[in-house]
Structure 1
Amino acid sequence: MKSHPARNRRRLALAAATTAVVVALSFGATGAAFAQDTSHASGDRVLRVGYQKAGLLAVLKAQGTLETKLKPLGYSVKWFEFPAGPQLLEALNANSIDFGYTGAPPPVFAQAGGVGFVYVGAEPGSKLSEALIVKADSPLHTLADLKGKRVALQKGSSANYLLLELLRKAGLGYNDIRPVYLPPADARAAFEKGDVDAWAIWDPYYAAAQQALKARTLADYTALPPAGLTYNFYEATRDFAQQHPEVVSEVLVQLRASGLWVNQHPAETAALIAPKIGLDAALVEKWVRRVPYGATAITNDVAQAQQHVADAFYGARLIPQKIAVKDNVWQNSSAAARLAAQ
Structure 2
Amino acid sequence: MTSFTRRAAGKTLAALALAGAFGAAAPAVAQEREFRVGYQKSGALILLKGKGTLEEKLKPLGVRVKWAEFQFGPPMLEALNAGAIDFATTGESPPIFAQLASPNFAYVAYDPDSSKSEALLVQGDSPITTIAGLKGKTVAVAKGSNSHYFLVKALEKGGLSYSDVKVAYLAPADARAALQNRSVDAWSVWDPYYAAAEAAGARALTDGQGLVRNYQFFLSDKRFVEKNADILRVTFEELKKVEDWVLKEPKTAAAELAPIVGIPAPILEKAILRQGFGLKPVTKEIAAEQQKIADTFLELKLLPKPINVADAIVEVTP
Q: What TM-score do the two structures reach when normalised by structure 1?
A: 0.81
Larger relative contact order (Cα-Cα within 8 Å, sequence gap ≥ 6): 2
Q: Which residue number corresponds to residue 191 of structure 1?
A: 179
SS at match of 1:128: helix
SS at match of 1:289: helix
Q: Which residue number corresponds to residue 151 of structure 2?
A: 163
The partner residue of 1:218 within 194, 198, 205 is 205
The partner residue of 2:223 within 232, 239, 245 is 239
- Root-mean-square deviation (CA, aligned residues, Å) is 1.5
- Partners of 2:271 and 2:187 lie apart in 1 by 17
Gap runs ≥5 in structure 1: 1-42, 335-342
1:45 is aligned to 2:33: yes
The partner residue of 2:263 within 276, 279, 287 is 279
Q: Which portions of structure 1, spanning 4 or more consecutive aligned residues, are displaced by more than 3 angstroms?
A: none
Tell me how many residue pairs correspond in the alignment.
Answer: 289
The partner residue of 2:66 within 69, 78, 100 is 78
Deviation at 1:115? Answer: 6.0
Answer whether contact 2:117 2:275 (CA < 8 A) is retained. Answer: yes
For residues 77-101 of structure 1, the C-alpha deviation after alignment (integer angstroms, 9 at most, x for no partner) is 0111110011110111111110011
Gap runs ≥5 in structure 2: 1-30
1:1-342 residue pairs with structure 2 within 5 A? 43-114=31-102, 116-212=104-200, 214-222=201-209, 224=210, 228-334=212-318
Answer whether contact 2:74 2:94 (CA < 8 A) is retained. Answer: yes
Letter in 2 for 1:303: A
For residues 129-157 of structure 1, the C-alpha deviation after alignment (integer angstroms, 9 at most, x for no partner) is 11000011112111111111100010010
Letter in 2 for 1:320: P
Letter in 1 for 2:265: A
Answer whether contact 2:107 2:312 (CA < 8 A) is retained. Answer: yes
- Partners of 2:157 and 2:97 lie apart in 1 by 23
Q: Percent identity, please.
A: 45
SS at match of 1:80: strand
- Partners of 2:233 and 2:158 lie apart in 1 by 42
Q: What TM-score do the two structures reach when normalised by structure 2?
A: 0.87
- Partners of 2:103 and 2:42 lie apart in 1 by 24
SS at match of 1:199: strand
Letter in 2 for 1:216: R
SS at match of 1:314: helix
